[in-house]
Amino acid sequence: MSAGIYKCSQCPKTHTRPWNARDHEATHRGRFAHPCMREGCNKKYGRRDHLARHVNTAHKRALYICQFPGCGSGYSWSKSFTRHQRTHAGERPYPCSVANCGMAVSRSDTLMDHQRTHTGEKPFACECGQKFSQHGNLAIHKRSCPQLSDANSR
């Protein structure tokens, strides 16, 4: 298992952050003290702040609305809204530190993804052994991985 990947001991789910893995594993132990009260939503959470995050994102309680002409995107969190505004302003405050690269991006996580193109690091691994430099590419791969579908059909 690659460093930085935390696999659930009860199911195939993986996480890149240890606290997400810990909270996910708690769901297998039936610790759901905070259910979502929205009609038709069956989500339950072990922590109140996780329930609040779910309500703010899944149920679109937007507190910050983009005023850029033609946009109107809504965000529940000021950090997400600030990141979004950079796309309209063309701000790229995160430059790549590799000499002669010249790449600059609007998000720190995007910079980390970019820097892996220089290092060749692939910290996201599928159970089949294939590795990826970006979490999103692993997620796409898992949808069609023949070894995973074979394991799930048993």
17 within some domain: no
Q: Report residue 38 as tokens.
A: 């929205």
57 within some domain: no
Mean pLDDT value of segment 89-103: 95
Residue 154: per-residue pLDDT: 47
Mean pLDDT value of segment 21-40: 75
CA dist 153 and 37 (Å) reads: 34
Mean pLDDT value of segment 108-126: 93
137 within some domain: no
* Residue 2 predicted with pLDDT over 50: no
81 within some domain: yes
40 within some domain: no
Cross-strand pairs, 131: 125
66 within some domain: yes
Residue 119: per-residue pLDDT: 95
Quick check: helix, strand or coil at residue 88?
helix
Domain encompassing residue 77: 62-91
Question: Which has more pLDDT, 100 or 25?
Answer: 100
128 pLDDT tier (thresholds 50, 70, 90)? very high
Mean pLDDT value of segment 94-100: 95
pTM over 0.85: no
8 within some domain: no
Q: How many separate domains does the chain show?
A: 1
79 within some domain: yes
